[in-house]
Amino acid sequence: MTQSTATTLAIRPAGSLHRLPVWLVSALAGLAAAVTTELYGLVARSVGIPMYAGNVGADHAEPITVGMFAMGTVISTFWGTVLAVALARWALRPARTYLRATLALTLLSLVGPLAAGDTAWSTRLMLALAHLVAAALVIPAVTRRLESAPGRAGRG
């Protein structure tokens, strides 16, 4: 295989991303992130990280049950999908706007785990990392898809 063939093969999957609807790209990325974060949670559980966390300011922690990582990822991805679809239609620069908004929202999402009441620091850090893992899987895929969305600028 020549270098140009290898490059073409490596680019093809990302290149075909622009043909899929924004909602589908976001849903597929979200599904991958949900599976990944749930597996991450199971690994964290298996190495002894306490699976109890409280809300910000709480004086007692609740158990983090199996499935909660995936559920949280799916809920966040749902709202991120709503944002992406709206931006694809109405934003002047959908990809740039989505990227900036989701990076800011990801940073904001870290407040919850890092400020969790009655929660071990190992759990807080593990939960914050789960947020970053999910974001690292979803945000780039959706941003790449939005790069080919015309946005408001293409509807003139």
Q: Does 130 fall in a domain?
A: yes
For the stretch 83-106, pLDDT in tens is: 999 999 999 999 999 999 999 999
Q: Does 1 fall in a domain?
A: no
Residue with tokens 């490059």: 7
Query: With 70 as the cut, is the pLDDT of residue 2 above it?
Result: no
pTM score, whole prediction: 0.85
Q: Does 128 fall in a domain?
A: yes
Q: Which of 99, 102, 123, 98 is nearest to 112 (CA)?
A: 123
Residues sharing a CB contact under 8 Å with residue 49, sequence separation 6 or more, in sequence order? 120, 122, 123, 126
Number of domains in the chain: 1
Domain housing 124 = 20-151
Q: Does 43 fall in a domain?
A: yes
For the stretch 115-125, pLDDT in tens is: 999 999 999 99
Residues sharing a CB contact under 8 Å with residue 57, sequence separation 6 or more, in sequence order? 115, 117
Q: Does 71 fall in a domain?
A: yes
Q: Does 156 fall in a domain?
A: no
